[in-house]
Amino acid sequence: MLWCPNLTKSRFCFFSWNLHEGFYPTGGLFASVGQMGVGFGVSPNTSNPTNNSVNVSGTNLYMKYVSPEVIRVAPSKAIELFPYDTAKKALTPKDGEQPKLPLPPSLVAGAVAGVSSTLCTYPLELLTTRLTIQRDVYDNLLHALLKIIQEEGPSELYRGLTPSLIGVVPYAATNYFAYDTLKKLYKKTFNTDDIGNVATLLIGSAAGAISSSATFPLEVARKHMQVGAVGGR
């Protein structure tokens, strides 16, 4: 999904692409790499181009689409960082000790963090996805939650969980491992223990790009399952 602000009218337009036709443009990958927040623009109905754009006031747009995503991301990252730090400290050998695992601690800790976060916050992710692609069906996050439980059952909130877990393990593991490795490489290259804000930003962006690029096909499969009920699949 690409958002384009119309600065002259203070409105937004949506351009969606359809996963159901087997077309996966590179823009979706770049959006994933950039972590744009709202996610992929998956539209169950793209036969009429006029249906793929909608004008909403800035305030209503933020409350309906951006706010739920913030609600999802905040606990997700909080839950993710806690098990990562805990697992990394437990797996990192002390001076003179042998490695506890044949794998780097940051790699394993990242996988543990990703799985923990996904299990706890997956229903929120599914709700924000549904809000994005079914703009005329749900009014807000609470309405989407109640409607899905009433019409499709509570288990629908975990639709697509399996590919999500399969995808989050390599994604989170690669992301944290790349971040940790790039930080060590930076310190070694510049012979310093202090990493500035700009360098931290670039390292984090590079780590996110690496992990997103490596796991993008699994992300597509996950979105397929999350929105499958929309098309009766």
pLDDT of residue 140: 87
pLDDT of residue 155: 93
Mean pLDDT of 20-35: 41
Secondary structure of the chain in HEC code, one letter for each residue: CEEEEECCCCEEEEECECHHHCCCCHHHHHHHHHCCCCCCCECCCCCCHHHHCCCEEHHHHHHHHHHHHHHHHHHHHHHHHHHHHHHHHHHCCCCCCCCCCCCCHHHHHHHHHHHHHHHHHHHHHHHHHHHHHCCCCCCCHHHHHHHHHHHHCHHHHHCCHHHHHHHHHHHHHHHHHHHHHHHHHHHHHHCCCCCCHHHHHHHHHHHHHHHHHHHHHHHHHHHHHHCHHHHCC
- Summarised one tens digit per residue, pLDDT across range 186-213 is 999 999 999 999 999 999 999 999 998 8
State how far the Cα of 187 lies from the Cα of 182, in Å rounded to an integer. 9
pLDDT of residue 149: 96
* 229: confidence class by pLDDT, cuts 50, 70, 90: low
Highest mean pLDDT among 59-73, 201-215, 219-233: 201-215
CATH number, domain of 120, equals 1.50.40
Give the total number of structural domains in the chain: 1
In the predicted structure, residue 176 carries a pLDDT above the cut 50: yes
pLDDT of residue 73: 79
Mean pLDDT of 43-60: 48
Residue 169 lies in domain: 2-231
- Range of weakest confidence among 58-62, 73-77, 203-207: 58-62
State how far the Cα of 72 lies from the Cα of 70, in Å rounded to an integer. 5
* 173: confidence class by pLDDT, cuts 50, 70, 90: very high
Mean pLDDT of 6-11: 40
Mean pLDDT of 52-58: 48
* 64: confidence class by pLDDT, cuts 50, 70, 90: low
- Summarised one tens digit per residue, pLDDT across range 78-130 is 899 999 999 999 999 988 889 999 999 999 999 999 999 999 999 998 998 88
